[in-house]
Every structure is written in structure tokens, then in C-alpha cells.
Amino acid sequence: MTRLQNDLFLRACKREPIERTPIWIMRQAGRYLPEYRAVRAKSDFLTMCKTPDLVAEVTLQPIDIIKTDAAILFSDILVIPEAMGMHLEMHEGRGPIFPEPIRNEDDFKKLKTIDPFVELKYVMDSIKVTKDELDGRVPLIGFSGSPWTLLTYMVEGSGSKTFARVKELIYNNPKLAHQLLDKIADTVADYLNAKIESGVNAVQIFDTWGGILTPSDFNEFSLDYMTKIISKLNKENIPVIMFAKGVHHSIDKMADCGANVLGLDWTMDLGKMREQVGHKVALQGNMDPTILYGSKVRIKTEVQSVLKSFGEGSGHIFNLGHGILPDIKPDHAKALVQFVKEESVVYHK
Amino acid sequence: MTRLQNDLFLRACKREPIERTPIWIMRQAGRYLPEYRAVRAKSDFLTMCKTPDLVAEVTLQPIDIIKTDAAILFSDILVIPEAMGMHLEMHEGRGPIFPEPIRNEDDFKKLKTIDPFVELKYVMDSIKVTKDELDGRVPLIGFSGSPWTLLTYMVEGSGSKTFARVKELIYNNPKLAHQLLDKIADTVADYLNAKIESGVNAVQIFDTWGGILTPSDFNEFSLDYMTKIISKLNKENIPVIMFAKGVHHSIDKMADCGANVLGLDWTMDLGKMREQVGHKVALQGNMDPTILYGSKVRIKTEVQSVLKSFGEGSGHIFNLGHGILPDIKPDHAKALVQFVKEESVVYHK
């Protein structure tokens, strides 16, 4: 195993002493980079996800160009339902579509039990190529959607404003919803364990749609399954990050679910959250992604404000409160990374 | 003035003793009702808003059909920017469009200072016709968008996922943003005072987009202007409701802003909020709107759970945590109202 030249991210996850605050950016391998768009222009999105050389290329772009402290393996959360047998189409402008969504017991029975080293072998191959090319420069993060977030896509079949279908399911057939979530949770746990075995240094679970649920539904239909996954991970020395957007009401419970790090969106007060749960977990986030529309001067002020809010000591991984937006200037992302590196030193004396 | 036959809603706003919990539903005069769609089929949306007889007709529909305890004057928040001189187009499926959005100082200068009794005379006329037809059965609520929410539409010009333009404005030209918000706040205050003078029994300010801001930006760009409006209202005996969706972080500050009632979305714990601020304000909400996709049995369980969460005594106006969705069965909305009326009696002994 290559020794990591920059392990600030991993040490911050474990709340060990560091010299400055590490930063990476959700969706850092993405459309805001012209270098990414150049790769994407030659290949459709799913082919990119399934071609290890292309995965490695776009995963490394932000490390070379904007110089973040961690890489995150380029992929999509929907590779899991696809591997379970659901036909997935990616439509430009309309987002992902499952033409045959899951709506009843028969649909559920059609979902395959998978071996991630077989059906998702291309992901494991991608990890190996990416690790080789990274050559120990920074740690590599692997990710998955949460069972609840995957279920919303699998049931809705396409983007939704109201989530009518998946809400109908949990209200009118909670038993089936739980069967589905349980199967997805087992699949995600196997998938993340395979990623760990293949060499990722940390994993992040994204619960993009946890925030559409009431507090009690979130606990029943989302958090319980993320907790189950974490309990099944072979996570010796592999930090687990849980990011549940819009879930301001269950921070204490999330801090107790076994994750090492909680990701926070930009509506949360980082300082208050550190006070509340920072003795249990590290915190990741949480600059408003739209601040990058502002001037560099404004970005710098906001970086200072986020760093000040967390305060002195380890346990903070700087990030945006949600993915970087596709129309952000790469120059502003570069400036953000540089500001965090410079401005955070004083908090780690 | 006609004496109100059912003033439960007004008494709950003032936290005075009541026999049962009152209920009304955001967007209760809306597309889920076939009777509404029948009116809408014969007239475009803006013409409906500007025709007092049609406003009265659809405003009364939910009182007659689903039997809520308050009426809310049918209108749209964007009548204000239109009255200030912005050309407004309503596109089926695409939502409202301002083809010439506000982007700079010159655009700002073009915004007219209005007299709501002139430019928005049709609203005041609608109130009179509606009050006549209501004939004292239930109170009538008038509403406005918050200055921040109106500004997002005026700057973006159309629906947005990222709010890039309005965020650019507040980060790169906060001075202009404040000038705009101040002018809009004055206009909203005059507008709501005109509505009060014309006969509405309560007013609600909707801050639909307050939740996209960080806590400090929310205070600076949204709450301060709602507070200014409330301080200018001639509100003797007229309850003021403030509903800021997704603003979980500033409940204490909102409880101190002069409003009589805070509206809560479905991600908030009603019981905890009552404990935290219920000695200052009444609370409105907060059933998940998608529960109405569930069976009547499921709806009843949720009604019981929301009522139990608030507990005994006055100070709760039952509502959804957001507007009723257009594909909800009217029968389910009727059942909801009936359940609240029956199940709440035990909490008011």
C-alpha cells in the first residue's frame, strides 16, 4: 500500500491533530470543469461511469486543477438499482429515468441479489486504476446513496417535486417499503465493503432526500437503514461520512448512528452543531454553494466565517453544504480551496 | 360589520380558549378541487385574480366543499411586482415569467411606487365581494409574499433551482439588494394595510424561499424586512401569521418579530416548538402534505399524532406544512378537515 502524502482529510475525520483544515468539494469531479466537459463530450454518462480509465481521469481532475485534499471516485448513486436489474436511462436535461419503476410486490421480487464484485466489477476496477494514478497523493472516497434516497428514485422512476409515489408506498404499504429498504441496505453494505476491499480510504453515504420526510418518518424509513449499513461495514480505520441534506431535526440521532463524520448543509450553524455533537463525530461542510457566484473577496469572507464558526482544533472537513453547481467558474473553486488552506492555519496552532 | 359565526381561527391565533382546534389548508382554493378547475378552464389565471366575482367564487369553494374554518382570498404573490410595473406572464406548466427581470440599478429605478387602492384596486374589490358572499360564516385571510420571496422571482425572472441570479445580487451588490427589499417591504406593508382596511380578518406573509439562505443571510435579507412590514401594519385585532418554509434555524427570532402566529413546515417538531416559543406566539401547521396520498385511516392516525404533539389548550391552528398538492383527492381533504374537528375536542376540555 502506497503511503499517503496528504492524509489531512483522514486525520480530520478521526479528529486527530492537523496543521490546517482539509477541503474537498461535493461534485468536485463535475460539469463546472471544462476538462470534465471535454471527457463527457466524447462519451455518454453511464459509459463514463463504467470505463475505469475515464473514471480515473475525471476523479483526478480536481486534485490536479483545484487541488482539493481528497478525491471522490466518479460514479452515480443509481448504478446500484441498475445492477439490481432495473433498466436505467440517462436523458440530457431530464435526468435519470427508470422506465419500469418499482410499485408493487411483483416488481420487488424482480430485484436481483447482487455480488458487487460481479455486477459492479467496473467500479472496483475503477478504484484500482484511480488509486494507481493517484499514487498516494490524497485519500480516495467511495460513495453510495442511502437506501431511502435510492428507493425514491426506484419508485418514482424519474425526478419528482412531490414524491407522490414513494410517499404513497410508505403510507399505504409500509411493509413492502421496509422489505425494499432492507434489501437495498444489504446491497449498499456489500457494495461499500467491496469498495473498501478494493482500496477506498473512506466512504460517504448521501441521503439527498431524507429532508422530505417528517422527523419520525426519517427515523423509520431512512436513518434506521443507514445505521444498519454502517453496522455491517468493515470499517477498521475507514471513516464513514453520513450526509443527510435538510435533516436538521435528527442531528443527535445521526451522531449516534456509528458514522465518524456528519455532513451538514448550509442552513445549519456549524458552531452550534460542534457544541452539540462535536465530541462524538467530526463535521463536514457547510458553505452555501451559491457563495461561489460571489466575488473572490466575498468567497474569502465566507471561508473565514465558516472556519471561525467551527473554531480551533481538529474535527472539521471543509466542504460546501451541497454539490458544486455546474455554472460555477473553476477559478472561484480554485480560490475557495486556496483560501481554506491559508485561512485555516491559525485554527490549528 | 357582520358578526362572525365561526371565529375559532381568530381565537386560536390569539391563544384564547376554544372548543376545538380550527383548520384551514394552504392552497385550499386550488387545483385539487374539480370546482376550481371548472372556473379556471374558462379563464386564464391572471384574469381570475383580477375578477372579483371569480375570486369570491373560488375563495368560497373550500368553505362550502371541504368546510375549513377560515377562507383565504384567492390571489397570487406576484400581483405586487406586476403592479410595480413588471410585465408578468403565466405559462402553463412553466410557471410565472418576468421577461424583463430586475438585475441592476436602472431596472430598480423603473419600479413604480404604488397606491394599492389604485393599482391593486381589484384585490380590494375582491375582498368586498368575498366578504359579502361569506356573510360572516368564517374569517377571511389576506396574504402577501415576503420581500425576499418576491425579490427572488423579480430577479430570477422565472423558476430556478439554484437561485444563481438573486444570490449573485446579494453577494456582489448587497446595497442594491437592500434598496430593492426596502422598497418591496414598504409596498407589501401598504398592500396588507389596504387589505385590512378593505375587510380581511387576518394576514399571512409567505416566505417560500427563506429556506434557501444561510441563517445569517436569512436574518439580513428576509427576516428584517418581514419585521419591518409587521411593525407598519395597522393590526389592532388583526392577527399576523408568518410562514417561512425550511427556516428551522431562526424560530426564536421569528417568534420575536411581532407576528401572532408562526407557520411551521412538516420537518418541525410541533411539540418542541410549542415548548420553545408557544408562550409568545400561536403555531400553525404542520402535517406533511403528502400524507393526503395515504388512506383515510392513515390520515386519521397522522391527525391524531399532530394534535397530540401540540397537546392541550389553545394556540394551534391545524394546517398542512405546505400547500395542498394538485393531485390530492378532494375526498381526502374533506376527511382531514372532519378528523381535525372530531379528534381535537378532547384537547380543549
E strand or H helix that includes residue B240: strand B240-244
- Alpha carbon distance B319, B316 (integer Å): 9
Please compute the mean of the pLDDT values over residues B176-194 and round it to a whole number: 98
The rounded radius of gyration (Å) of the Cα atoms in chain B is: 19
Percentage of residues in chain B having pLDDT higher than 90: 95
The set of cell numbers assigned to A163 is 414524491
What number is the average pLDDT over the span B341-348? 98
- The per-residue pLDDT for A161 is 84
**Predicted confidence band at A284 (pLDDT cuts at 50, 70, 90)?**
very high
In percent, how much of chain B has pLDDT > 70?
99
Cell of B46: 391572471
CB count, 10 Å around CB of A324? 25
B261 three-state secondary structure: strand
DSSP state of B162: S
What is the DSSP annotation of A47-114? HHHH-HHHHHHHHHHHHHHT--S-EE----TTHHHHHTT---EEETTTEEE-SS---SHHHHHHPPP-
Mean pLDDT, rounded, for B176-193? 98
**Distance (Å) from the C-alpha of residue A171 to the closest C-alpha of chain B?**
5
Compute the mean pLDDT over every residue in chain B, rounded to the nearest whole number: 97
Query: What is the reported pLDDT for A159?
Result: 83
Q: Minimal Cα–Cα distance from A287 to chain B, Å?
A: 9
Contact B267 A163 (CB under 8 A): no
Confidence (pLDDT) at A279: 94
Q: Is B106 a catalytic residue?
A: no
Q: In chain A, whose CA is at the least distance from the CA of B163?
A: A290
**Residue A249 sits at the chain B interface (C-beta within 8 Å):** yes
Which cell numbers hold the place of A244? Answer: 443527510
CATH of region A8-348, choose from 3.20.20.210, 3.10.20.30, 3.90.1150.10, 3.50.50.60: 3.20.20.210
Note if B171 is an active site residue.
no
The stretch A174-199 carries a mean pLDDT of 98
pLDDT in tens, B42-76: 999 999 999 999 999 999 999 999 999 999 999 99
Average pLDDT over residues B92-105: 91
- pTM of the predicted model as reported, rounded to 2 decimal places: 0.95
pLDDT, tens digit (0-9, with 9 covering 90-100), for B10-45: 999 999 999 999 999 999 999 999 999 999 999 999
Confidence of residue B98 (pLDDT cuts 50, 70, 90): very high
| Helices B164-172 & B147-156 angle (0-180, nearest 10) | 110
Our measurement of the distance from residue B339's CA atom to the centroid of its chain's CA atoms, rounded to an integer in Å, reads 23
The larger pLDDT score, comparing residue A2 to residue A12, is at A12
| Active-site residue flag, A182 | no
Q: Any idea where the domains of chain B sit in the sequence?
A: 8-348
Q: Is B171 on the interface with A (CB under 8 A)?
A: yes
Given A249, A266, A294, which is nearest B267 (Cβ)? A249
Q: How far apart are CA B275 and CA B251, in angstroms?
A: 12
Chain B residue closest in CA terms to A306: B214
Q: Where are the beta strands (DSSP E) in A178-305?
A: 202-207, 240-244, 261-263, 282-287
DSSP 8-state class, residue A27: T
Q: What's the confidence (pLDDT) of residue A31?
A: 96
Say which range, A114-118, A234-238, B109-113, B179-183, has the weakest mean pLDDT: A234-238
Residue A194, all three cell numbers: 467491496
Our answer to whether residue A94 is catalytic in this structure is no
Which residues have CB under 8 Å from A99's CB, separation 6+? A87, A89, A157
How much is the average pLDDT of A92-102? 90
Band of residue B162 on the pLDDT scale cut at 50, 70, 90 = confident
Cell of A312: 480551533
Mean pLDDT of B276-290: 97
Contact, A211 vs A246, CB < 8 A?
A: yes
Which residue is associated with the grid cell 461511469?
A49
% of chain A residues with pLDDT over 70: 99
Q: Band of the pLDDT at B235, cuts 50, 70, 90? A: confident
Q: Do A246 and B249 touch (CB under 8 A)?
A: no
For residues A109-132, average pLDDT: 98
Q: Is the pLDDT of residue A348 over 60?
A: yes
Q: What band does B188 get if pLDDT is binned at 50, 70 and 90?
A: very high
- DSSP code for B346: G
Q: Mapping DSSP to helix (H, G, I), strand (E, B) and coil, where does residue A241 land?
A: strand
Cα of first residue to Cα of last residue in chain A, in angstroms, is 31
Q: How many CA atoms lie within 13 A of A132 on its CB side?
A: 11
Q: What pLDDT is stored for residue A2 in this prediction? A: 67
User: Is A11 marked active-site?
Assistant: no
pLDDT one-digit tens code per residue, A18-73: 999 999 999 999 999 999 999 999 999 999 999 999 999 999 999 999 999 999 99
Average pLDDT on B327-331 reads 97
Q: Which H or E run contains B332? A: helix B330-343
Q: Name residue B19's amino acid.
A: E
Nearest by CB: A298 against B171, B268, B294? B171
Q: What is the pLDDT of residue B333?
A: 98
Are the C-beta atoms of residues B227 and B183 closer than 8 Å to each other?
no
Q: Cβ of B168 and A246 within 8 Å?
A: no
Residue B203 in grid coordinates: 394576514
Supply the DSSP symbol for B142: E
User: Measured between alpha carbons, how far is B325 from B328 in angstroms, rounded to an integer?
Assistant: 6
Phi-psi region of A246 (alpha: psi -120 to 50; beta: other; left: phi over 0): left
Strand partners, A67: none
* Burial (CB count <10 Å: 0-12, 13-18, 19+), residue A41: exposed
Average pLDDT for A251-264: 98
**Among candidates B343, B337, B335, which has minimal Cα distance to B294?**
B335
Q: What is the DSSP letter of A259?
A: -
Best of B94, B214, B328 to disrupt the A interface (most A CBs within 10 Å) is: B214
Residue A334's pLDDT is: 98
pLDDT band at A235 (very low <50, low <70, confident <90, very high): confident
pLDDT band (50, 70, 90) for residue B1: low
Q: Write down the pLDDT at residue B92.
A: 76
